[in-house]
Structure 1
Amino acid sequence: MKIVVIGGTGLIGSQVVARLRERGHETVAASPSTGVDTLTGEGLAPALKGADVVVDVSNSPSFEGGAALDFFTRAARNVTEAERAAGVRHHVALSIVGVDQVPDYGYYRAKVAQEEAVRGGGVPYSIVRATQFFEFVAPVMDMSTQGGEVRLPSLPLRPIASADVAAAVADAAQGAPSNGVRDIAGPEVHRLDRLGEITLAAEPDGRSVVTDEGAGLFAGFPDVLTGDDTAHTAATRYEDWLARH
């Protein structure tokens, strides 16, 4: 199959591309750096020519609600229009577990709008929702650092390795459209402040974790980001991943 991966040079996309190529598929990494701009539509038609499947793992360059909403909705419209013209048979989109249960967070509202655009885009689809990536823990900690303290809420998360996300997305791309949502999550639930402690225990840098329910990116989030018993559980544990990275 010919599979086009939008966002194919990023953290998830580059791994999806590598997995699909290993499995013998003609795989195109589409991104602004390779001449494909989903916001303007530039390069979409030639990239999608002859494509069987399009995978969209692109991300908004801004987490601000309005900017993210514009990015995800405009890109989704342009991509699905180009897919219909090219005869693409399957659209795979990456989203977030619990995304439709956090209406007060603008970025999540933007992702919900993206999902709605995919559902209404006229192309058979599969939506893969993932929990937070292991790779995001350290940046979240950095954003929440004040002096020598990392201030984090006790929100429960069930983080997952990006490699496990890429594997699930690649599997979806090779399968039939589900016209529905599949949740994937890591094997363990950890409080965010505890993830900070685990990280600093593995990589001490002089900082310490302070539990602060009003601090950082996840302050005030409802407890909906771990998924439920229907979520597919990946194998990689956070401590084991830290030891390798």
Structure 2
Amino acid sequence: MKITVAGASGLIGTRLCENLRRSGHGVVAASLSLGVDTVTGKGLDAAVAGSDVVVDVTNAASFGDSAALDFFKASTKTLLAAAAEAGVRHYLALSVVGTPRLVESDYLHAKMVQENLIQASGRPYTILRSTQFYEFINGLIDIGAQGDVFRLPSASMRPVAAGDVAAFLAELTAGDPLGDIVEIGGPEQFGIDEVARIYLAANEDERQVITDPSVSYFGVELTQDALLPGPAARMANQKLDDWLYQSMGG
């Protein structure tokens, strides 16, 4: 099977390409750094030509303003048009758990627009929503940084290893389009404040975490379960402690 991965140079894209190649698929890696621009369409038709599947794991460079919306609208429309022109049989995209509940966030509003464009396109599709990656915990807890302390809400989350997300994407890529949204989350549930304490302790960072439910999450005030996947979500394998041990060269 020939598969085009848009966003192939990113955290998920690099892992996904490796997984697909190990499984014997022909992979076309497409990203800005490889000469393919999903916004302008430069190099895209050649990257998609003859592909059975397009996997969209592109990401906006900015999370906090209208730039994310501009990116996802333009990129998704361009990718969908290229997929239609090439007769691609399956369009698969990565999104974020909680997106419909958190559209006050500029970034998640942009992801909701992306999902809507895919669903309205008439292309056979699958959308995978993932919870927050372990790899982004550092950026997540930085939202609460105030001097020598972190003020963070206790809202629940099920963070997940990027490798587990890429593996599930590879599995979905090999299957038929679901015409639906599926989810993946990590095997353990924590409060955001609790994740921060675990992460800081593992990095021998003695800064204190103060639980503060009023702190916003990328511009949104969280309810307790806003970041949790539904009961039908795929449960990933790697636990946080194991990932921390592995990521620190253990």
TM-score w.r.t. the length of structure 2 is 0.94
Aligned to 2:226: 224
Q: Structure 1 residue 207: deviation in Å?
A: 1.2
- Aligned pairs for 1:14-53 (under 5 A) are 14-53=14-53
State the Cα deviation string for residues 4-34 of structure 1 (Å, max 9, x = none): 1000010000000000000011101100111
1:85 maps to: 85
User: In structure 1, the residue corresponding to 2:230 is in which secondary structure?
Assistant: coil
> 1:142 — aligned with what?
142
How many residue pairs get aligned? The number is: 245
2:126 aligned counterpart, secondary structure: strand
Asked if the contact 1:93–1:126 (Cα under 8 Å) also holds between the matched residues in 2, the reply is: yes
Shift of 1:65: 4.2
Deviation at 1:216, TM superposition (A): 5.3
CA-to-partner distance for each residue in 1:56-97, whole Å, 9 max, x for gaps?
Answer: 011111113422111111111111111111111100000011
> Please, what is the CA RMSD of the aligned residues?
1.3
Equivalence for 1:60:
60
Question: 1:243: which partner in 2?
Answer: 245
> Which residue of structure 1 aligns with residue 113 of structure 2?
113
**Amino acid aligned to 1:225:** L
Tell me if the contact between 1:140 and 1:216 (Cα under 8 Å) persists in the aligned partners: no
Post-superposition offset of 1:100: 0.8
- Unaligned stretches of 5+ in structure 2? none
- Is contact 1:65–1:110 with CA below 8 Å preserved after alignment? no
Could you say which residue in structure 2 is the equivalent of 1:182?
Answer: 182
Contact 2:103/2:112 (<8 A) preserved: no
Q: Any idea what the Cα deviations from partners look like across 1:160-205, whole Å, max 9, x if unmatched? A: 1100110111111111000101111101110000001111221212
Contact 2:216 2:222 survives alignment (8 Å): no
Letter in 1 for 2:187: P
* Residue 149 of structure 2 corresponds to residue 162 of structure 1: no
Secondary structure in 2 aligned to 1:93? strand
Structure 1 residue 215: deviation in Å? 3.0
